[in-house]
Amino acid sequence: MLRTTTGVLSRLTINETKTTGSAFALEFVRWRRKPRWLPVAKSKLFRVPERKQQNADEKAELMRLHNNYKLQMRSLRQYLREEVLRLNVTTTADHIVLTPEQEEAEFQRCMQENEAWNQKIAVERNERLQRELEEKAVEIRQRLEAARIREEERLERADEVVRREIELSKSFITRDKLDTAIEQALANPVDYNFSLDLKGNIYRGRNTVPGGKGTPTLGGANEIEVQQTLKASN
């Protein structure tokens, strides 16, 4: 129960004593406000407080005063804000302000200095461009020369090929020469056959026997092996 919370009550009493500071003014708090967390009392649950009727004149007057106050405060704040802005713009507290003439003179001085710098660079650039142009010209000339030499070599090689072909064309078998060529071919048969022994000696011809015509000189070669190889190849 609320009334039995003696601790709170006694503490309150002490505080009261302290604040008043006089034993005569000692006052016991028996009733005080209900704590916030307690619900509405049962007896007051359905009580609807009556709304006080305000006098119309009084209301109008209060409204007028209120409006006046609001308006004045608003204009004051706006004025102060503008003043701060103006100060920020015109203040010289954090930067140096030059007169327009000084500024212009400074600007002209910088411009002239820059002009001199630009002139100097322009001269150097022109020299560089000239130099690069010459280098480029030399390079182009060299490359043209190289291309010319390459072309000449190519023509030379082509001429060589043509000359060789003309040379070769003398031995071509034409329709006129066909009979002669056939006769000659029949008269000189060519035998591409050959055989090998184990030492890698080549024996040209189909019917060549070791020691015969076309036989490589065998320094003490194994005769039997050669014979066998020949037999196998035949």
Footprint of another protein on this chain (CB under 8 A)?
93-96, 103, 107, 110-111, 113-114, 117-118, 121-122, 124-125, 128
Rounded to whole angstroms, the Cα distance separating 226 from 196 reads 8
Residue 120 beta carbon to another protein: minimum distance, rounded to whole angstroms: 9
CB of 128 to another protein, least distance (A): 7
CB of residue 133 vs another protein: minimum separation in angstroms?
14
The torsion defined by the Cα of 96, 102, 104 and 106, in degrees rounded to 10, comes to -80
Indicate the residue among 115 and 156 with the shorter CB distance to another protein: 115
Q: Which residues contact 221 (CB under 8 A, 6 or more apart)?
A: 197, 199, 201, 210
What CA–CA distance (Å, rounded) separates 201 from 225?
A: 12
**Smaller CB separation from another protein, 58 or 94:** 94
Closest to another protein by CB, 121 or 147: 121
Dihedral sign from CA coordinates of 173, 178, 183, 186: positive
Nearest distance, CB of residue 125 and another protein, angstroms = 5
Residue 100 or 200 with smaller CB distance to another protein: 100
Query: Considering Cα of 34, then 36, then 37, then 40, what sign does the dihedral take?
Result: positive
